Amino acid sequence: MISDTILIVCISIATALLGEGLTWLLVYRTEKYQRLKGEVEKASKRLERQKETVSEAADKVQKRKLERQEEKLKVNNRDLSMVKMKSMFASSFTFMALLGMFNSIFEGRVVAKLPFEPILWIRGLSHRNLSGDDFTDCSFIFLYVLCTMSIRQNVQKIFGLAPSRAASKASGGFFSPPGQLSQR
């Protein structure tokens, strides 16, 4: 079992590196991406700085100016994701195929023993394709997803490919409610 566990960790390291390498080749090194990224970063920094000063002295004209800048930033952000989209499609197809392949290799195998019993709505993932009622048995997909979550982010950070915090905040992250910027 332990060799399977380690193998899966290695697989996810390899796929994370492959994925980032592929994205770098197709997107990150292109001039268009570099330019857009620079613009978005500069604009979100400026916006953040301005918001700090404007919130203290709320002026109608200034607020409108701020909103206009936000709009521009949103357009730039959209362009940026359009550029990324192309490679996202390519890499997601590759990874779907890879995932399918690994899934069939590890089908029905207990690859790890969980030190906790997962809550109900995670069991579908952690006990996928496994027989038996022992919910501490871990399926391939759960371990792979966890590994990918941690390794991919770290690989991006190490190579400086992750978007800056100001930019991801402005683009409206996964957890931040929409329209958060204009409410302030």
Partner 1 sequence: MSASSSTTGNNSSASSRNTSRLSATSSERVSMAFIKRALTPTASWTHKEEFLDAVYWLRQVLSIIIGVILGTLSVKGLLGMIIFAAISSLIVFIYASNVQKVDPEEYGGMIEIIKEGFMTALATFLVSWIVLYSAFNAPKSTIPTI
Which of 88, 114, 125, 155 is in the footprint of partner 1 by CB under 8 A? 114
Site for partner 1 in 20-49 (CB under 8 A): 41, 45, 48-49
Closest distance to partner 1 from the beta carbon of 80 (Å):
13
First and final C-alpha spacing in the chain: 52
Residue 33, amino acid:
Y
Angle (nearest 5°) at CA 145 between 160 and 87: 50
Distance between CA atoms of 176 and 95, rounded to whole angstroms? Answer: 28
Quick one: which of 181, 183, 184 has its CA closest to 172?
A: 181
Give the residue, chosen from 138, 139, 141, 181, that forms a contact with partner 1 under the rule CB under 8 A: 138
Q: Which is nearer to partner 1, 60 or 116 (CB)?
A: 116
Binding residue (CB under 8 A) for partner 1 from 55, 81, 104, 150: 150
Number of residues that bind partner 1 (CB under 8 A): 40
Q: Should residue 181 be labelled a site residue for partner 1 when binding is judged by CB under 8 A?
A: no
User: Strand ranges (DSSP E) for the chain?
Assistant: 112-113, 137-138
DSSP assignment string, 109-129: ---EE-SSPPPHHHHHHHTTT
For residue 112, the cross-strand partners are: 138
Q: Is 153 in the site for partner 1 (CB under 8 A)?
A: yes
For the CB of residue 43, give the shortest distance to partner 1 in the complex, in Å: 12
Tokens 């991801």 correspond to what residue?
Answer: 168
Considering only residues 56 through 85, tell me which ones interact with partner 1, judged by CB under 8 A: none
Binding stretches for partner 1 (CB under 8 A)? 1-7, 9, 41, 45, 48-49, 52, 105, 109-110, 112-117, 138, 143, 146-147, 149-150, 153-154, 157-160, 162-167
